[in-house]
Structure 1
Amino acid sequence: MTSNLEIALSKLFAAEGRKLLFHHIDSDGICSAALILKFFHSFTFRGREGPVLDKKTMKYIESKKPNVVAWIDIPIDQEWKKLLALKEKLPETKFVIIDHHIITANMNYYGMIHINPRLRKRDAYIPTSYVVYKILEKMKCDVKPYKWIACAGIIGDYGKCMMEREIMKHGKRVSDLITSAIVLKSVKGSEKALKLLLRSETPYDFSTSELEKWHKIFVKEKNRIIADFETKKEIYGDFIFYEIKSRMNLTSTISSVISERYPRNVIIIRKKSGDFWKISLRCQSGKLNVGEIARKASEGIGSGGGHEKSSGAVVNDWETFKKRVLLFGS
């Protein structure tokens, strides 16, 4: 049965006027965006590395005066004060958030549409790709042929994909190719992956010689870094730190792989990027909430957050971040 929420979303997404869609540049964010864009073609879309609502983005949105702004797989509620300031400047704009990260603020209370499984169950872990798939299904969109896209997003975000074996096999391959594009080419890679998804009607369509080449390069570099980790990791009790030195954006991938090898430890992988440090945190056991650690340890020096077992941060002061993390652990 289609609820009032799905009816309202369908009308917003299908209505005429300027519409903006911001999505996270990981497999889940890209696949979630692709599912929406398969049925609602008039969005202008952009990838985002995280929820930071900077001045440049604020000005861009204000200049476009959109009818709708959608944030997909981005915990933009972390920036709720800036979001409310934006809403005040654009009173006619409708704001939509479809996400699954730890909630900072329920934006439904401020006249926005905020969809997140954690609003019903605090510790729910349901990737945004699945959330979007079910929303489109309730909207009566013919989304079943794109189940493989939803599966790729779910697998890429380490969610439980309870689909047919053949769909899961295709989903894993697509997810791996998307990850390779992001790791090697960052935002531009995510754009290529998303545009290819939009052109693909079946998982067999999602392949190019360039993507396959990127995947081989990615696998080789990933294996090199994992070997290097074993000789250069820093251990402080339950915490294991490691600095990646690579041209590729591998912090998230490496932290996930290492955390599977060391499930009882808190894994913290960092990489220097200009004046900032990109950091990924993992704790498969769940004994420490790394989402909360990332958020609190980055206060005043950057931004951070995510899930209980998986999170990330961008900071300008690594030593302060590290000291705070160890204090939380003690």
Structure 2
Amino acid sequence: MQVEKLKPAVEFLEKSEETEDIGIIHHWDMDGTASSVIISKILEEVRGEPAQWVSIPEERAYHLSEKDHEKIENLDKLIVLDFNLEADEMEQLLEDYDLEILMVDHHSFGRKPEGVSFVNPREFDAEIYVPCSKICLDISEEFGLKDELRWIAGMGVIQDFGVDSCPELFDNLEEEYDKYLPDEKTQQQLAKNCEYGRYSSILNIKPYRDSKHFAKLAYEALMKSDSLMEIEAQEEYRQVYEVYLEMQDEFNEVLENYEEEREVDRDQCVIFFELDSEFNINSSIATNMSTKTPEWIHLVVQRDEDEVNISGRCQSGRVDLGKLLQEALPEKAVEEGAEGGGHRKAAGASMKPDYYPEFKSNFLQLVE
């Protein structure tokens, strides 16, 4: 991004002082984790120490819970990364607590929150797609840290399917990390066929049980490492890796069942697939299967007694999934806390189980 568009974040971080209590809340995927590490390392450069509190939201939802508020009310500054809070909620935080807020994001948004230092490339181009970790890397250049933090941003970009939007990032990584990278630096090759992508997958805590705990471990492993070669030496990384191996076994088993157990609507080119797993792997399954049939819409569903969670993918972008998933939610479901949204090619939704049949019917009608 151009320097002028990054100015709100640069000025916010430049003014951070050692005596201030600063917290970061970020999305529960690798893009969010990488973004939090980059911004925390900038804070360390500016004021001598990183953020005191770094976390994903308590409920893995795009709103803040009472427990989140208990943490925030004691802060001087809050930094929101890759996490699409509504403008009304952001402004309410300013009203309720005496703090300053920086938001760096790349999702579509309704309106810009007033009183918040705000950086989002979609403010200037609604169709642009640049992962948050790449935006944070551009911010780090203003502090002379871009070269040493590039490898961290690359991890976030791979897992957020952003390789095509910033190819120069991986060209610049080649000199130092050549043996970890594939010959062809495409999204598919970087994600699936190289050591660099494997590290990125391991630290992508989105599928793991107790993701709040593993988000902290991933953050600490990256904060303690000055390069990719140091990652495996970190105890926090080894703890994440053990769970990754367990998750991979579950993931492969689910993939074997996908063809047989999926529900196919051939007229609309939509696939529904319900899975039962202790891991949050619906988004990983959706991504894996959608790359094989990019014109099809894949909706992968995980449910428990209290909630249905849906991950949607359509790699061709022939529909706007973020918009469709949001519009398909029954009105009553929204009144009871249902949420939906995301990007054009990748989005999600959650609701109480009773509303899923109506959601499903609404979705098919909207696609048609």
Q: When the two structures are superposed, what TM-score results if normalisation uses the length of structure 2?
A: 0.81
Residue equivalent to 1:151:
154
CA distance in 2, matches of 1:171, 1:141: 24
SS in 1 for 2:208: helix
Question: Deviation of residue 310 (structure 1)?
Answer: 0.4
Alignment of 1:108-127 (within 5 A): 110-127=114-131
Is 1:294–1:311's contact at 8 Å kept on the other side of the alignment?
yes
**Does the aligned pair in 1 maintain the 2:54–2:216 contact within 8 Å?**
no
TM-score normalised by structure 1 residue count: 0.90
Q: Kindly report the root-mean-square deviation, in angstroms, between the aligned alpha carbons of the 2 structures.
A: 2.1
Tell me by how many angstroms 1:59 deviates: 4.5
Matches within 5 A, 1:249-288: 249-288=280-319
Instruction: Quote the sequence identity (%).
Output: 23
Q: 1:34 to 1:115 in 2, by over 3 A?
A: same
Contact persistence 2:340–2:349 (CA under 8 A)? yes
* Counterparts of 1:202 and 1:33, CA distance in 2: 16
Could you tell me whether the CA contact under 8 Å between 1:291 and 1:312 is conserved in 2? yes
Matched, 1:20 2:23: yes
Q: Quickly say closer, same or farther: Cα 1:6–1:257, change in 2 above 3 A.
A: same
Which residue pairs with 2:208 in the alignment?
183
Which of 56, 81, 85 is the matching residue for 2:88?
81
1:241 deviates by 0.4
Change (3 A) 1:102 1:171: farther
Aligned to 2:80: 71
For each residue in 1:256-281, what CA deviation from the matched residue of structure 2 results, as whole angstroms up to 9, or x when unmatched? 11111121111111101440111101
Corresponding position: 1:45 with 2:80: no
Alignment of 1:207-218 (within 5 A): 207=232, 208-218=237-247
- Shift, 1:205, TM fit: 1.7
- The 5-angstrom pairing of residues 240-255 of structure 1 reads 240-255=271-286
Q: Distance between the aligned counterparts of 1:323 and 1:14, measured in 2? A: 53
- Name the SS for the 2:12 alignment partner: helix
The size of the alignment, in residue pairs, is 322
Residue 311 of structure 1 corresponds to which residue in structure 2?
347
Aligned residue in 2 for 1:329: 367
Q: In structure 2, the residue corresponding to 1:261 is in which secondary structure?
A: coil
Residue 107 of structure 2 corresponds to residue 101 of structure 1: yes
For structure 1, which segment, 317-326 or 151-160, has the greater mean C-alpha deviation from structure 2 after superposition? 317-326
Write out aligned runs for 1:295-310 (5 A). 295-298=326-329, 299-301=334-336, 302-310=338-346
Question: What is the CA–CA distance in structure 1 between the aligned matches of 2:128 and 2:18, rounded to whole Å?
Answer: 32
Contact kept? 1:315, 1:321, Cα under 8 Å: no
Contact map agreement 2:106 2:122 (CA 8 A) in 1? yes
Residue by residue over 1:4-51, the C-alpha shift from the partner in whole angstroms, topping out at 9 and shown as x without a partner, is 435412234445322221011101000110111123213311113232
Structure 2 segments unaligned to the other structure (5+ residues):
44-49, 182-193
1:81 maps to a residue whose letter is D
Q: How many Å separate the matches in 2 of 1:322 and 1:17?
A: 48
Which whole-Å CA distance do the structure 1 matches of 2:209 and 2:22 have between them? Answer: 29
Shift of 1:226: 1.1
**Partner AA of 2:221 in structure 1:** L
Change (3 A) 1:254 1:128: same
**3-state SS in 2 of match to 1:155:** helix
- 2-side partners of 1:205 and 1:247: how far apart? 31
Compared with structure 1, are the counterparts of its residues 6 and 104 closer, same or farther at alpha carbon in structure 2 (3 Å cutoff)?
closer
In 2, Cα distance between equivalents of 1:201 and 1:101: 29
Residue 93 (structure 1) shift = 1.5
Correspondence for 1:199:
224
Displacement of 1:68 after TM fit?
Answer: 1.1
Shift of 1:196: 0.8
Contact map agreement 1:291 1:306 (CA 8 A) in 2? yes
